[in-house]
Amino acid sequence: MIETYLYESDTRHPATLALVGSGSMTAYDEATGIGLGVQRERADTLHSYAMFDQPLDWFDGIDFNDGPAAARTVAAMFEGWVPELVALVADSDIPPIFRPLYGLPTGHRWEHVPGVTLIGDAAHLAPPDGEGANWALFDAGQLGNAIAQQPKNVDAALRAYEAALFPRNIDTATAAAAYYPNLTCTDPPTAAGQA
Ligand SMILES: Cc1cc2nc3c(=O)[nH]c(=O)nc-3n(C[C@H](O)[C@H](O)[C@H](O)COP(=O)(O)OP(=O)(O)OC[C@H]3O[C@@H](n4cnc5c(N)ncnc54)[C@H](O)[C@@H]3O)c2cc1C
């Protein structure tokens, strides 16, 4: 994904705002694997992700150190799309930001470690389908409930939490993968490889 923003779209990009509407919008071309996901945020900010079903090294062809050039290169990939949507990239108020997607394997789980567990992306990193933050909050609530039910045996609470978490993760990872039919997940980068 490549992230861009249009600020104050009500006055500066009204035609684009009218297409996006009052919430979020996705446009996806199955033939090319190219899409645009847009969220309307406060102050009529349009927050966009240009989406490409491509392996990581494909993005090496875009110079993200040169914001205007990157915007032109990415916008050119939307040739033939209506100008109101192309403007989300071409007229971005920020230099386009590369957001590679990573995912843990579906069915990922771990051997229980006494006194320790995981919630959110650490437990079930998946390609974004608009639910990741919700699942992170849900995990936190479930973990809190589990501990509240047996506060004197926290390790049993962690085990109970994990027993419900692992099958739930299969469902959520499957749903996220379905959002990107052509996506091949790459292992997350190691700490040493992170920017
Ligand atoms: C492009 C994109 C779009 C998305 N859109 C949506 C959406 O529309 N709706 C939605 O619900 N979800 C969305 N998500 C997913 C959502 O952002 C995540 O699922 C969510 O943020 C996970 O929350 P978390 O608390 O588990 O992890 P994070 O939000 O990643 O929080 C982990 C925190 O730990 C910190 N940290 C890491 N290592 C250490 C360390 N060693 N010491 C101290 N701190 C550390 C990190 O800096 C970070 O602040 C999107 C994700 C992406 C990539």
Is the pLDDT at 181 greater than 50? The verdict is yes
Q: Give the amino acid at 125.
A: L
- Is the same domain home to 73 and 113? no
Phi, psi at residue 173, to the nearest 5°?
Answer: -65, -35
- Is the same domain home to 70 and 151? no
Is the pLDDT at 193 greater than 60? The verdict is no
Report how far residue 143's alpha carbon sits from residue 122's, in angstroms, rounded to the nearest whole number.
Answer: 14
- Structure confidence at residue 53 as a pLDDT band (50, 70, 90): confident
Q: What is the model's pTM?
A: 0.80
Last residue of one domain, picked from the residues 76, 98, 120: 98
Which tokens belong to 40?
């309307």
What's residue 191's pLDDT? 55
- Is the same domain home to 125 and 80? no
* Ligand 1 probe mutation, 121, 134, 165, 185, most atoms within 8 A of CB: 121
Closest CA to 102 of 176, 33, 28: 176
What's residue 194's pLDDT? 44
Phi, psi at residue 64, to the nearest 5°?
Answer: -75, -5
- Is the same domain home to 13 and 71? yes
In angstroms, what is the span from residue 167 Cα to ligand 1's centroid? 21
- How many domains, in total, are found in the chain? 2
Last residue of one domain, picked from the residues 81, 98, 115: 98
* Average pLDDT across the chain, whole number: 91
With pLDDT > 90 as the criterion, what percentage of the chain qualifies? 75
- Is the same domain home to 83 and 121? no
Cβ burial of 39 (10 Å; 0-12, 13-18, 19+) is middle
Average pLDDT over residues 31-49: 94
Is the pLDDT at 133 greater than 70? The verdict is yes
Give the atom of ligand 1 at the shortest distance from the alpha carbon of 119: 26
Strand partners, 28: 35
Cβ–Cβ under 8 Å, residues 34 and 70: no
- Is the same domain home to 37 and 86? yes
In angstroms, what is the span from residue 82 Cα to ligand 1's centroid? 32
Long-range contacts of 164-173 (CB under 8 A, 24+ apart): 165/123, 165/124, 165/139, 166/109, 169/107, 169/108, 169/109, 169/123, 169/124, 170/106, 170/107, 172/124, 172/126, 172/131, 172/135, 173/103, 173/104, 173/106, 173/107, 173/108, 173/124, 173/126
- Is the same domain home to 76 and 138? no
In angstroms, what is the span from residue 120 Cα to ligand 1's centroid? 8
What's residue 182's pLDDT? 67
pLDDT tens for each residue of 65-112? 999 999 999 999 999 999 999 999 999 999 999 999 888 888 899 999
Q: Whose CA is nearest to atom 17 of ligand 1?
A: 133
- Is the same domain home to 94 and 107? no
- Is the same domain home to 165 and 126? yes
Give the atom of ligand 1 at the shortest distance from the alpha carbon of 122: 26
In angstroms, what is the span from residue 188 Cα to ligand 1's centroid? 13
Closest CA to 180 of 74, 91, 51, 46: 51
- Structure confidence at residue 179 as a pLDDT band (50, 70, 90): confident
> Containing domain of residue 34, as a range?
2-98
Q: Residues near ligand 1 with C-beta < 6 Å?
A: 1, 49, 99, 120-122, 128, 130-134, 136
What's residue 188's pLDDT? 55
- Is the same domain home to 50 and 110? no
Give the atom of ligand 1 at the shortest distance from the alpha carbon of 134: 11
Cβ–Cβ under 8 Å, residues 98 and 59: yes
Average pLDDT over residues 170-176: 89
- CATH for 194: 3.50.50.60
Phi-psi region at 104: left, alpha or beta (left = phi > 0; alpha = psi -120 to 50): beta
- Is the same domain home to 27 and 11? yes
In angstroms, what is the span from residue 121 Cα to ligand 1's centroid? 6
Last residue of one domain, picked from the residues 98, 127, 145: 98
Q: Whose CA is nearest to atom 52 of ligand 1?
A: 128
- Is the same domain home to 93 and 116? no
